[in-house]
Structures are given as C-alpha cells and as structure tokens.
A and B are shown apart, each in its own frame.
Chain A
Amino acid sequence: MKRRDSIKTIALASFGASLFLESCYGVSREKITRSLTRYEYGRTPEETLYDDKLFAQKFFTNDELLTLDKLCNLILPPNEFGSIRDAEVVQLIEFMAKDIPSYQEPLRNGLAWIDNESQTRFDNIFIDLDETSQKEILDEIAYYDPNHNMNDLPEPVQWFNLVRNLTMTGYFTAEVGIKELGYKGNFPNVWDGVPQDVLDQYGLEYDKEWLDKFVDQSKRNITAEWDDDGNLLT
C-alpha cells in the first residue's frame, strides 16, 4: 500500500483525524460530524464540548500515525478475528494522547527514537524497513523483567510498553477483540449460577443449605409477598 493510501485508510474510519481529512481531502465538516453519531455514550453538554474539542484537535503528524499503524500491527498482527484497523487502535491512541496529555511526550519521543534507531542501524526510517529488521529493533525493547518497576527501565522499553498497552486495550475493548476474548456479558440475560461443568472443573459446589435461598428464576416475574416475619411467600 502506498503511504498516502494507508493514511487514508487510517483516517477514513476516524473522526480523530478529521481535520486532517478535511484539509487533505476536502470532506465537509458536516459529513465528519455525522460520522460521530456512532459514539453514543450519554454525555452531558459539558462533556460533549470537551470531547468535541479533543476531536477537533490533531496531535500526531501523518508520518507518526503511519509509524504507529505499523507498530500496532506488529504488536497484534491480524488474525481470523480481526485487526488493529478493525479495532481502530491508532485512532484510539490519537484520542488518548489528547485526552491524557502526559502521554504526548513519551509517545512522540519514542516514535522519534525508533526512526533514529532505524536510521542508525539500517539507514532508513522504521516503516520503510523490512519486517525482519523491524523485529530486530523491537526484540531489544519489547521484553522486560516483570519484577522490576517499569519506571526504572530504559525509556525505549517504557515507551514500547505504553504503545503495547494502548494497542492491547484498543483491540480488546473493540467489537472484534471482545469477541476474540470471549466476554459474553453486557447483555440482558438470566444469571443462574456457575455452569456445572465449571463447578466440576474446580471441584466446587453450591452449599446445600444455601440452594433453597437463591432466587428461583422461574418465579422472578411473580410479585413478591411476605408474611409478617419476612418469609417470602411467592
């Protein structure tokens, strides 16, 4: 994919890069605003103003967005469930950099660092390296000893950890990632306890003396009535 096309791919799905889109492609502001309606998350007027302000700003340069796109794809390569583009991970990182300004400097410095490192070692910027060379660089910053405090580790390691964290959270909070993870909730249903095969797996069971106390889900729709001592009659 040509650089310009891949910018377009990143930007098209994103309101985060909307101003960029508007200036580069002449898409009207009205159209961009309409694309925002998929974000329906019950904001107050003050919160809407704040988030609109963030949407209207652009933090990363186009080159930085491209580098991020490549990095996120290396962190989570596409599989049968989906890709970081499906999950709009780069757009999330753009938004969070504006929402949490303390992310800005480390994210930007790290992106500059990896291009410098690429230039020094392979005489080219990161996204123009072949994947073997890219991974050679990542291999030196991608691993850490979890017994150490992250803040004590070299900055490139901290930076890559931040990018990895944002990539992971971006993917696994998106529709494709939630499906891949297997989270099945946030949906109207009836909870009637841990499935029997899971109880068996862990050698657990519900107390016999408790079983009569739990809600009988077949009677949940019958209006509650009690005797004077608080015993449920229905």
Chain B
Amino acid sequence: MQIKNTAKEYDVIIVGSGAGGGMATKVLSEAGLSVAVVEAGPFFDPADPKTMTQLKPAFHSPRRGGSTTRHFGDYDQAYGGWEIEGEPYGQIGDTDFKWFRSRMLGGRTNHWGRISLRFGPNDFKRKSIDGLGENWPISYDDIKPYYDKVDKLIGVFGTKENIYNEPDGFFLPPPKPRLHELFYIKGARKSNVKVIPSRLSVLTKRINNDRGICFYCAGCAKSCNVYGDFSSGSCLIFPAQKSGGQIDLYVNSMVRTVTTNDEGKATGVSFIDKDENKEYKLKGKVVVLAASACSSARILLNSKSKQHPNGLGNSSDLMGKYLHDSTGGDMMAFLPELIDRKTYNEDGVGGMHVYSPWWLDNKKLDFARGYHIEVWGGMGAPTYGTGFNVNSFNKFFGINKAGGYGDVLRADMKKYYGSTIGISGRGESVAQKTNYCEIDPNKVDKYGVPVLRFNYQWTDNEIKQAKHMQDTFEEIIHNMGGIPLWGKPGKDANYGLNKPGWIIHEVGTTRMGDDPKKSVTNQFERLHDVSNVYVVDAGPFVSQADKNPTWTILALAMRSSEHIVEEFKKQNF
C-alpha cells in the first residue's frame, strides 16, 4: 500500500493522519474519491504487537517506563514530542512556546486524553458576549448534526446533564468514579463547583463489531490494541480501507509545500521521502491540510509562488496569527485519610471518571472565559519515579525525619501509595493577533525546509484565570481534608499558568471567517484565496473554548469533507 512517485492524479491529497486527516480520509474515500494520505511519520497500528506498549509492566523497559526518550514515558504512544532531532523551532524575544509534534499514522490521537467535549452555543459567539476576540462564522446549530454523527461513529461516554453551554450528545454510559474521585466530588460540591461524569471517547459499551470494548487497563495513552478508544488509525483510516476506499498511504513522507499552477490553484504537494531523503511530487485535484495547526501554517507559508508571494492563502497576512493554546494550572495534594489503603484494581479507563465543567459567570469575575477541572490520582501502575522520596510526607504528620533504610521503607511505601490527588484546570485563552508562528528566514531543518519561530505572551485574562484556578483548587483540596504538596505559585510565576503550548491544544493559525481580510479560511475550512485547498486540523478555530479541541476538529472535518464531496458532485474541482 505504500506507493512512491506516481503519475496518478488523486482526487484529494490529505496531509496528516490525525483527527482531522483521519476523518477526511473516511468521508472522502467512502464517497468514492481517490485519496492519498501523506503522513510524516511511520505506519502505526495500535494492534501491532511489535510497537504495542499497552499492558506492558514497567520492568519490560530497561528504564522502567522512564521519560528520557518519550516525554510522557516509554509507553506513551507519541513518536516525537516537544523536541524532534533535526527539526527545531525558534522563539522570538522571551517567548517560550512549547510545540508538541507526534509523527506517526494517527498522530496525536494515539496518546491523547480522549476528553471529548462539544463546544457549546456560547463558545462560537464569545465576542458577542464579552467583546473580546472574534465570533465564529458558524453557530452551534450548524455543527450539532456533525457532533451527533461523530458521537455515533466513534463513541463517547457521558451523561445527559442539560447544561446550556455543555451540550449533551449520544452517550455511552460512564464508569463509576474511583475513590479519590469521590473525595473530589465531596470537596468540590462543598465549594459549589459542579461535578459530572466525564465525557471520554472510550467504549464502555459495544458500538460495532469492528472495535472491542474497554477492559479498564487505564492505558489509553498507549493506544488500545482492541480499538476500545478513539485513535484516528484504528477508528477512521483502517475502517475506511476495509470498506474498500481507494486510499494510498504515504508514510515517512513529510510535505514541504503545496504546489500551484499559473492560475494560482493547487496542483498537489511536494514531499520528502524520509527513508530515501528524496523529494517527490504528488498530483491532486484538491489538497486537504491536516498536519496540525502550526505544521499546516508552516507548509502554506512555505508554499510561495508568483501568484502567492506571501505564502499560499495568506493575502490577509493572518496565516499563523491568533495562535492560542489552552490555559493550564495544576495543584497536587496529599490526602491523609488515604494512607494505608486497601489495594484493589482501580485502573478504570485511561483518564478521569468525573470532571467539572465551567460553572461560573464571567460577568462577576475579573477575567474573561472559563476553565474546566480535571482530576487524577489513585493507585496507579508503578513506573520509573515510583518510590522516590518515599516518606517525605512524614512532614505532614509533624515528623521532621524522613529517609532511612531497611524495612521501614517497605512499610512507608505501602503507607503512602495511592494517597495523592491532582487537580488541573484547562481553560480558554483569548486569541491574540500578536501571538503567532511565522517562518524563520534564517533557519532550515535537516530536510532543508524553513522552520517556524513563535511569538507568544499570555495576557492579563489568562493570568487572572490561573490565579482563580489556584484559589479554587486550594479550597477544594481543603474541603477534601487534603494538604497541597507545594506552595501556591504567586504573581511572579503567573500563578502557575503553564507555558503556552504545554497543554497541546494549539489552534487558530488559519482561522475561519466570512471576511477574507480578517480570516484565512471560510466556514468550510477552505482557503479564501485558493478554491481547492482546505485545512481540517485545529488551524481554522476562531476561539478555542474551555473544551479540548479534538471533538470539534472531527465534527468540522466531517462537515468540510461533506462540502468537498458536494463540490466534486458539482464538478467544481
């Protein structure tokens, strides 16, 4: 299936195979179109025992699952990370933007948290509410039918809650909360913070005969070998191949540019075959970019021509601008009540079983936009780092002595195992024109392709939101009878606000809109400037909501792909 250098003209070339690329592959190939999927990383199937890490105990790794080569540990299924050898990116001024890339079939969908939240009606019209940023050119009603279809196609558990800005969907039933989550519920409710069952794309119940059901190993970050969770390969691309789609997969193939003709229309892509270190060209009637918000912007900015001197689709000069990531803040605590726990298997699904959607009205607060709360903890699988500073919690009992050697260490290990809880806020930032990625004119990667550099500063809104997170978490932890493990970060540390990019929700670089002067793509994610180039990753997001972006990437990609099919029917390509 891995063909190189062909004279064939595809109907559609899809660049990238994550959430957006996978959905485009499925919809377009099932409509009978011939599709080339060009992926920068290798082929990956979660079911392949050779690459599988699910169910591996720590001692199958010589570093016991440590994080030297993969940021989230040896067993995390993301090939890449914050740094990729030979593929650098730069920073402007004191910017410290973290860019996480995963190069493999399925991209970052192989390891993500599976938190699958719909954007609500307010999330598409934030400017109308607080005057900041920009409204989307579409509303919740435009995208609702696609969310519904995504729910049924891929599967997501959750509960009907009838909360206006947290729309319900077609949910599978959720798993019961774990012990530390029951503590969280108690603590949060005391502070009037609402808690509801999580909404994760994990199959707690069968949805079809091609995919297995969750067997509760907490291993979603390892990508499920029975396809019990959503990843783009297992749930979109492989089923599309199975149903007879004309799909050619080009792996280890890094797209450099979108090629154009004299009329300025796209003719295909040029890519570097990483195995041979040679460049090839593919011809296509339509090019769909789904390489991730920043990678797609990079490809387009690098696709300069006489007709498009500022980069392809960049007449607005907004390509790369309005880049924004979720805000993030965390607090970790010790729960004295949970020492010397009875042990039992509480793995559950890979992620939290309950969460708190945004519960306040910003009119009464000193910052814009909200955040949701995630919770983690419990008796997790031992991995590298387990047992470090085993009895430093002694200090919480007024014992100013820790360390030692001998059997006391075994006793302390068991005493404190599973006694911590973590709370994380993931919130919405306000998109800024001054936060952007652009091509660094002086730097190329090991393939000779100009690289990106970033300019990004948080504003007061995000910093005050982070302060609100810390104050809220402190109160909830106090309500639980917990003791925070470290002091609250102050103003000098932006109240613990994570660096931009750290939450891996970067969006907005090719934002959509009706006005070609104020946006890069239209509501069908098509470049205003070029009628046969689409961007179906998170680049077209106008604002990011306090929701994780994947479910919206999928719904938009489905909507845009159906639009492409309609355009083909009208013979517009």
A contact set with B: CB distance below 8 Å = 15-16, 38-42, 44, 47, 50-51, 54-55, 74-77, 79, 87-88, 92, 95-96, 99-100, 138, 142-147, 150, 157, 160-161, 164-165, 168-175, 177-178, 180-195, 197-199, 201-202, 204, 206, 210, 213-216, 219-224, 226, 230-232, 234
Kindly list chain A residues whose C-beta atoms are within 8 Å of the C-beta of B392. Answer: 146
Q: Are A186 and B170 in contact (CB under 8 A)?
A: no
B207 part of interface (Cβ distance < 8 Å): yes
Kindly list chain B residues whose C-beta atoms are within 8 Å of the C-beta of A199. Answer: 182
Q: Are B61 and A201 in contact (CB under 8 A)?
A: no
8 Å CB contacts to A: which residues of B66-99?
66, 68-69, 74-75, 79
Best-buried of A88, A221, A226 by chain B (most CB within 10 Å): A226
B387 part of interface (Cβ distance < 8 Å): yes
Q: Are B205 and A230 in contact (CB under 8 A)?
A: no
Which residue on A lies nearest to B392, using beta carbons?
A146
CA distance A185 to B215 in the complex (A): 11
Rank and list the top 10 A-B pairs by shortest CB-CB distance, nearest first.
A168-B387, A182-B343, A193-B176, A185-B347, A173-B58, A188-B215, A215-B173, A146-B402, A146-B392, A191-B216
B57 part of interface (Cβ distance < 8 Å): yes
Q: Are B170 and A189 in contact (CB under 8 A)?
A: no
Of B131-139, B364-372, B406-414, B438-446, the segment with at least 4 beta carbons within 8 Å of chain A is B406-414
Kindly list chain A residues whose C-beta atoms are within 8 Å of the C-beta of B410. Answer: 76, 79, 180
Which residue on B lies nearest to A193, using beta carbons?
B176
A-contact 0/1 string along B146-181, CB 8 Å cutoff = 000000100101011000000011111111111100
Measured CB to CB, the closest approach of chain A to B343, in angstroms, equals 3
Which secondary structure characterizes the binding site on chain B?
loop
Kindly list chain B residues whose C-beta atoms are within 8 Å of the C-beta of A234. Answer: 205
Which residue on B lies nearest to A45, using beta carbons?
B42
Kindly list chain A residues whose C-beta atoms are within 8 Å of the C-beta of B213. Answer: 220-221
Which residue on B lies nearest to A75, using beta carbons?
B405
Kindly list chain B residues whose C-beta atoms are within 8 Å of the C-beta of A161. Answer: 389, 403
Q: Are B413 and A181 in contact (CB under 8 A)?
A: yes
Kindly list chain A residues whose C-beta atoms are within 8 Å of the C-beta of B390. Answer: 164, 168
Given A198-B344, A214-B173, A221-B213, does the pair A164, B60 have CB atoms closer than 8 Å?
A: no
B contact set with A: CB distance below 8 Å = 42, 50-53, 55-66, 68-69, 74-75, 79, 152, 155, 157, 159-160, 168-179, 182-183, 186, 197, 204-209, 213, 215-219, 337, 342-349, 379-395, 400-407, 409-410, 413-414, 417
Kindly list chain A residues whose C-beta atoms are within 8 Å of the C-beta of B155. Answer: 224
Measured CB to CB, the closest approach of chain B to A14, in angstroms, equals 10
CA distance A209 to B187 in the complex (A): 19
Q: A161-B389, A194-B177, A198-B179 are in contact. List 19 more A-B contacts (CB 8 A).
A: A41-B53, A41-B75, A42-B56, A44-B51, A54-B62, A79-B407, A99-B63, A168-B409, A172-B386, A173-B64, A174-B58, A185-B379, A187-B55, A188-B217, A191-B175, A191-B176, A204-B183, A206-B182, A214-B173
6 A-B pairs (CB sep. < 8 Å)? A41-B61, A42-B51, A172-B386, A197-B342, A213-B173, A230-B168
CA distance A23 to B73 in the complex (A): 33
CA distance A215 to B395 in the complex (A): 41
Q: Are B197 and A213 in contact (CB under 8 A)?
A: yes
Q: Are A186 and B395 in contact (CB under 8 A)?
A: no
Measured CB to CB, the closest approach of chain A to B527, in angstroms, equals 34
Kindly list chain A residues whose C-beta atoms are within 8 Å of the C-beta of B183. Answer: 204
Partner of A230, one of B64, B69, B157, B170: B170
Q: Are A186 and B404 in contact (CB under 8 A)?
A: no
Given A185-B217, A186-B217, A223-B206, does the pair A76, B50 have CB atoms closer than 8 Å?
A: no
Kindly list chain A residues whose C-beta atoms are within 8 Å of the C-beta of B349. Answer: 191
CA distance A50 to B547 in the complex (A): 37
Kindly list chain B residues whose C-beta atoms are within 8 Å of the C-beta of A189. Answer: 215-217, 345, 347
CA distance A172 to B413 in the complex (A): 9
Given A165-B388, A184-B343, does the pair A194, B176 have CB atoms closer than 8 Å?
A: yes
Kindly list chain B residues whose C-beta atoms are within 8 Å of the C-beta of A100. Answer: 68
Given A168-B409, A173-B384, A230-B160, does the pair A191, B402 have CB atoms closer than 8 Å?
A: no
Q: Are A206 and B176 in contact (CB under 8 A)?
A: yes
Q: Are A146 and B395 in contact (CB under 8 A)?
A: yes
Q: Are A172 and B173 in contact (CB under 8 A)?
A: no
Which residue on B lies nearest to A227, using beta carbons?
B170
Given A181-B413, A183-B381, A221-B206, does the pair A201, B342 have CB atoms closer than 8 Å?
A: yes
Which residue on A lies nearest to B399, using beta carbons?
A146
Kindly list chain A residues whose C-beta atoms are within 8 Å of the C-beta of B403. Answer: 142-144, 157, 160-161, 164
Kindly list chain B residues whose C-beta atoms are within 8 Å of the C-beta of A184. Answer: 343-345
Best-buried of B346, B389, B405 by chain A (most CB within 10 Å): B405
CA distance A182 to B386 in the complex (A): 14
Measured CB to CB, the closest approach of chain B to A87, in angstroms, equals 8
Q: Are B59 and A173 in contact (CB under 8 A)?
A: yes
CA distance A142 to B405 in the complex (A): 7
Measured CB to CB, the closest approach of chain B to A72, in angstroms, equals 10
Which residue on B lies nearest to A223, using beta carbons?
B206
Kindly list chain B residues whose C-beta atoms are within 8 Å of the C-beta of A222. Answer: 205-206
Kindly list chain A residues whose C-beta atoms are within 8 Å of the C-beta of B384. Answer: 169, 173
Q: Are A77 and B407 in contact (CB under 8 A)?
A: yes
Measured CB to CB, the closest approach of chain B to A114, in angstroms, equals 13
Given A214-B176, A232-B172, does the pair A194, B346 have CB atoms closer than 8 Å?
A: yes
Partner of A143, one of B79, B159, B401: B401
Which residue on B lies nearest to A205, using beta carbons?
B182
Q: Are A198 and B174 in contact (CB under 8 A)?
A: no
Kindly list chain A residues whose C-beta atoms are within 8 Å of the C-beta of B413. Answer: 168, 172, 181
Q: Are A224 and B172 in contact (CB under 8 A)?
A: yes
Kindly list chain B residues whose C-beta atoms are within 8 Å of the C-beta of A214. Answer: 173-176, 197
Which residue on A lies nearest to B207, using beta carbons?
A224
Given A47-B69, A220-B204, does the pair A232, B347 have CB atoms closer than 8 Å?
A: no
Q: Are A195 and B217 in contact (CB under 8 A)?
A: no
Measured CB to CB, the closest approach of chain A to B552, in angstroms, equals 18
Given A165-B387, A215-B175, does the pair A39, B337 have CB atoms closer than 8 Å?
A: no
CA distance A198 to B385 in the complex (A): 27
Q: Are A186 and B347 in contact (CB under 8 A)?
A: yes
Kindly list chain A residues whose C-beta atoms are within 8 Å of the C-beta of B176. Answer: 191-194, 206, 214-215
CA distance A111 to B52 in the complex (A): 38
Q: Are A39 and B60 in contact (CB under 8 A)?
A: yes
CA distance A185 to B395 in the complex (A): 30
Kindly list chain A residues whose C-beta atoms are within 8 Å of the C-beta of B62. Answer: 15-16, 39, 51, 54-55, 92, 95
Best-buried of A100, A160, A173 by chain B (most CB within 10 Å): A173
Q: Are B206 and A202 in contact (CB under 8 A)?
A: no
Kindly list chain A residues whose C-beta atoms are within 8 Å of the C-beta of B179. Answer: 194, 198, 202, 204
Which residue on A lies nearest to B168, using beta carbons?
A230
Kindly list chain B residues whose C-beta atoms are within 8 Å of the C-beta of A143. Answer: 401-404
Measured CB to CB, the closest approach of chain B to A45, in angstroms, equals 9
Given A168-B413, A173-B384, A184-B345, does the pair A190, B208 have CB atoms closer than 8 Å?
A: no
Measured CB to CB, the closest approach of chain B to A58, in angstroms, equals 14
Partner of B218, one of A39, A74, A185: A185
